[in-house]
Structure 1
């Protein structure tokens, strides 16, 4: 499964998806950008994940369905967090409602535009109120913030850098994929590093999500 944040595209065509995915055997859902900013895209292999429901917000895209191999019913939500505290709190409420609606193990991943710890932003000496809100939401939702062990920051612009990209999973997710790991990919033209989440059980090898 592949998630793209800030696509800056109002329309995603099959041509776009095949070009990105490299195969015709792909399903996708997207949230349109607004005035050349924002936009979300999820692509997956229809033989690996069977879609049952799709939910969309201005800054999030959620697909609910089944991972075929494990017969695992779950939901994956791609997030592009706002910058303003009030808008962030509104999004936390929407995502809480979404999790309650689906009632399945969840994975929230993407650019949350927020840090959780002081050391996640270069030069920071304290956490903002919105960061404390974010931390409280994670605790209330009983989510696990997957550690990123191979790098300190995921976003870079000039002298500024921070870790605002992450993956948050429920305990039910970890029951099925207890060896879920998060690592950073090589940085390209984007100011964000790609995040790669995989189940690294040695007996079966890594499984990228």
Structure 2
């Protein structure tokens, strides 16, 4: 599956979950990637369970820092094509509610530590809305906590454009896999798209993030759907707009960006 994806898509970064490997060698990584021009970091499995591997084109991304947790792997560095300082974090969510809360707290800490645009991707093992799981009528407490965490972190859940679910087992279907980014990421990559790859024999289908263009020139004012679902959005816009007085229209739009974030 990995080689098929790399042949079909121009892959600059690749994350693998559940490697089930306590040790990963440079030879293993070069064999997966296809050549030796690859940077990589991994989190070892606990015996035959778990394990994370993150690989990237060494010419496209220059790593400066790496942070690891039991269920996440974060690399911070520079995307050389557009001189973009950022961080990627591969996540494999826990199963129990208390363990999930620990993971969210650890990710909150690492995002605050890096202080750069962030992209979190992987299997979060939780849904964000009832439509993310077949046959569900309401969110569990754990799902509500995950949703609150995403909102508190001001993360955007990239919409999956070509399918509804990412995990399948018998009659059960869920969207457990996702890509979460902050608004600075969307501003830098305005045409970012998320779609699913071929599922093969796995219970999961891979996620593919595509970027067809990089921001050029001044950043435009953007409206996000999530703003309109926030109960305080219209009140905030009205109050801030009145406080800005009679300035130029475009200047007032720009000034709205900070309070909306």
Q: What is the TM-score of this pair, normalised by structure 2? A: 0.76
Match of 2:104 in 1: 92
Rg larger in structure:
2
Q: Which structure 2 residue ranges, 5 or more long, are not aligned?
A: 1-12, 216-261
Question: Given that residues 16 and 54 in structure 2 are in contact (C-alpha distance below 8 angstroms), is that contact kept between their aligned partners in structure 1?
Answer: yes
Deviations 1:145-199 (A, max 9, x none): 0000200110011111100000000111111111111000011222110000011
Displacement after TM superposition at 1:111 (Å) = 0.2
Alignment partner of 1:166 is 2:178? yes
Displacement after TM superposition at 1:202 (Å) = 9.6
Equivalent residue for 2:187, pick from 175, 182, 187: 175
| Distance in 2 (alpha carbons) for counterparts of 1:200 and 1:134 | 30
Structure 1 residues 23, 58: CA separation in 2 closer, same or farther (over 3 Å shift)? same
Question: Which structure has the highest helix share of the two?
Answer: 2
Runs of 4+ in 1 over 2 A off after TM superposition: 200-203
Q: How many residues align?
A: 203
How large is the RMSD of aligned CA atoms in angstroms? 1.2
Question: Given that residues 188 and 214 in structure 2 are in contact (C-alpha distance below 8 angstroms), is that contact kept between their aligned partners in structure 1?
Answer: no
Match of 2:44 in 1: 32
| Distance in 1 (alpha carbons) for counterparts of 2:209 and 2:187 | 16
Question: Which structure has the highest strand share of the two?
Answer: 1
Q: Which has the higher contact order (CA 8 A, sep 6+)?
A: 1
Match of 1:149 in 2: 161
Task: Report SS of the residue matched to 1:69.
Answer: coil
Q: What is the TM-score of this pair, normalised by structure 1? A: 0.95
Question: Given that residues 38 and 57 in structure 2 are in contact (C-alpha distance below 8 angstroms), is that contact kept between their aligned partners in structure 1?
Answer: yes
Displacement after TM superposition at 1:84 (Å) = 0.6
Task: Report SS of the residue matched to 1:151.
Answer: coil
